[in-house]
Structure 1
Amino acid sequence: MKSLLAGLIAALALVGAGGAGANGSPYSPGLVYGWGGVGAHKGAVRFVSFGMPKSTIVAAVRARDGRVVHSAVVKGFYGVPLVAYDGTAGGLSGDGRWLVLSSYGPNPGSAGKTKLVVLSTKTLKPRLPVVLSGSWSFDAISPSGSTLYLVQHISAGPNPRYRVRTFDVNTGRLGAAIVDRLEDEEVMGGAPVTRATSSGGRWAYTLYARDGEEPFVHALDTVRGEAFCIDLPLELGAVKQRGLRLRLDRRSLDVRFGRKSLATIDTVSFRVLRG
């Protein structure tokens, strides 16, 4: 069975010319499937998914030579979740033990369900299926894999509205919305442009673009379940906002456009300095 799956994966890779497919939407970056996937934090292995008519082939592939280390078939259609429109993939816990895959959900406000599945990276067997009513997408996972952070999509459009909620993997329970510690808000608006993650996966920093407003950075502590929305004093149009990128150092987060630094955030105090 293992050799059969490995052969099928190799054939699919040749058909796709070693590339990857992705499909975003007006409210979510979407999923990536094919040879792109998501890399383990040390970069030795990539986890990839290939959609079949009624199932998904998931594989751990050695980065240096493309060899399939192990693979499995999961019932249903799933892909590796993208967490930003620049193509940043997510779903892998900081300790490297757990992988989250997601399906596409309905448009915000429409009937339907969103499905996710948590897999062991060692066996690629499901630990927990997650089925939620409405429009959801993956945002982050705690380093131990015990908590998922999921985006509940409220609306689409230039500034899609959403809230971030926790999901306890051990109990299978959905938690309350995370409230911004700086502005005391739970409903936010914007499009996730790019993501930087701290070593070990504790902090997830996501830059959001907003049409007609300033961009902001959503700093999420995936261990304590706290979020801080940091407004950036940058007068930029929506198109230029989508070209911003983040560079994370030990205690600072640099907001850049090309090679130019436009702002720097102190990741301890969350104070913003102009570049």
Structure 2
Amino acid sequence: MRRRILLVLGLALACAVWTTTLASGAGPSPGLSEGSKGLANGKFRYVALPSGKTTEVQVVDREGDVRRHMRINGSWGIPLVAYDGTAEGLFPNGRTLLLAQSLYDGQTLRTTTKFTLVDTRRMKVSRRIQLKGAFTFDALSRDGRYVYMIEYMSPEDPSSYRVRAYDLKGAGLLSKIVSDKRSWATDMRGLPIARVWKEGWAYTLYGANAKPFIHALDTQNVAAVCINLPWKTSPDRIFDYRLRVDGDGHLVVRGPNGRALAVIDRQSFKIISFVASP
């Protein structure tokens, strides 16, 4: 029997549409979707509604009817991967949903991080992942083999982090750091502003508290390229910027009014054109 989505699960969700879980002075994680907005995909929307010591996971249709649901122990949410509100975590086959914990345990970074994989057809937990250290979700490979994560290096400096890959076929957390082979640097800084996908590549605009760049993640081949943007500092309205792929296949940074501020060739990773003072 269908039932209407529960918009309120106690006082904890009184005004939730989506929430960002960040401690004061926190690092770059945009947090979790813990409300009715959730993650939309085709005919359905997937939501996580934590209340007290448990979380209600729901599959909701376009009319707002709950088709399937389950309750699991703990406080869980759907990962947000950028401050533009992009939520991810649904596997390409649509049958598995990854749920994450808040990066923070109280006011400090977690020392152990857990992820839960939910079978969205049977509404049962299919797998649990536990890692030593502080991690957040970043992306999934197209074949669902690799889960990409952001690893935070130090509780004293949560703005320093690096990308790791977790192999679901048995290898677990890969020892290699997913970084640009053209550079010796493996750590990154900056806030994830916007995300766009194209042909298995996850492109993320970073900036705000660092020189702006685009992180190009090849999710199929466990590789990455950092594209430095031509501005010495982050523009004032960078949180209103968005990434798009235009009709020619170029990667475009667009400003608040849709103006193309930088155009990048996705094959060479070179900047084709840009606005000097956006």
Range class of TM-score, shorter chain = 0.7 to 0.9
Q: Could you tell me which amino acid in structure 2 is paired with residue 59 of structure 1? A: Q
Q: State the distance in 2 between where 1:209 and 1:29 align.
A: 13
The CA deviation string for residues 210-231 of structure 1, in whole angstroms up to 9 with x for no partner, is 53x5300001111111111000
Q: CA deviation at 1:111?
A: 5.7
Q: CA deviation at 1:157?
A: 9.2
Provide structure 2 residue ranges, at least 5 long, that are not aligned to the other structure: none
Equivalent runs, 1:239-258 vs 2, <5 Å: 239-249=236-246, 251-258=249-256
In percent, how many aligned pairs have the same letter?
33
Work out the CA distance in 2 between the residues paired with 1:157 and 1:172. 30
Is 1:214–2:211 an aligned residue pair? yes
Instruction: Find the aligned partners of 1:228 and 1:161 in 2 and give their Cα distance.
Output: 18
Distance 1:13 1:247, change over 3 A: farther
Counterparts of 1:72-221 in structure 2, within 5 Å, are: 72-106=70-104, 110=109, 112-155=111-154, 160-171=159-170, 173-176=172-175, 177-198=177-198, 202-211=200-209, 213-221=210-218
State the TM-score, normalizing by the size of structure 1. Answer: 0.86
Q: CA deviation at 1:272?
A: 1.0
For residues 152-175 of structure 1, give each alpha carbon's deviation from its aligned partner in whole angstroms, at most 9, with x where no partner exists: 012579981111111112226111
**Alignment match of 2:229 (pick from 232, 235, 245):** 232
Task: Indicate the residue corresponding to 2:37 in structure 1.
Answer: 36
Counting helix residues as a fraction of each chain, which structure ranks higher?
1
CA distance in 1, matches of 2:69, 2:171: 26
Q: Which amino acid aligns with 1:183?
A: S
**C-alpha separation between the residues in 2 aligned to 1:51 and 1:13?**
8
Describe the SS at the equivalent of 1:35: coil
Alignment partners' CA distance in 2, 1:114 and 1:272: 37
Q: What does 1:14-25 correspond to in 2, within 5 Å?
A: 16=14, 19-25=17-23
Q: CA deviation at 1:75?
A: 2.1
| Distance (Å, rounded) in 2 between the aligned partners of 1:235 and 1:72 | 48
- CA gap of 1:20–1:191, structure 2 versus 1, over 3 A, is closer
Q: Do the aligned partners of residues 156 and 239 (structure 1) sit closer, same or farther apart at CA in structure 2, a change above 3 Å counting? A: farther
Greater CA deviation, 182-191 or 10-19? Answer: 10-19
The separation in 2 between residues aligned to 1:35 and 1:111, in whole angstroms, is 26
Distance 1:39 1:50 in 2: 15
Cα distance in 1 between the residues matched to 2:215 and 2:205: 6
**Secondary structure at the counterpart of residue 78 of structure 1:** coil
1:159 and 1:23 mapped to 2: Cα distance? Answer: 14
Give distance in 2, aligned partners of 1:181 and 1:90. Answer: 26
Structure 1, unpaired ranges of 5+:
none
CA distance in 2, matches of 1:60, 1:111: 29
Q: Is it true that 1:10 corresponds to 2:6 in the alignment?
A: yes
Please tell me the residue identity of whatever aligns with 1:29.
P
In 2, the alpha carbon distance for the partners of 1:257 and 1:13 equals 38
Using the alignment, how far apart are the partners of 1:156 and 1:263 within structure 2? 34
Residues of 2 paired with 1:156 and 1:29: CA distance?
A: 17
Q: Distance in 2 between matches of 1:197 and 1:119?
A: 23
Q: Could you say what the CA RMSD is over the residues aligned between the two structures, in angstroms?
A: 2.7
Equivalent AA in structure 1 for residue 266 of structure 2: T
| Number of equivalences | 265
Q: Distance in 2 between matches of 1:55 and 1:172?
A: 30
- Amino acid in the other structure paired with 2:191: A
Cα 1:11–1:19 shift into 2, 3 Å:
closer
SS of the equivalent of 1:154 reads: strand
C-alpha separation in 1, matches of 2:68 and 2:252: 38
Q: What is the identity, as a one-letter code, of the residue corresponding to 2:90?
A: L
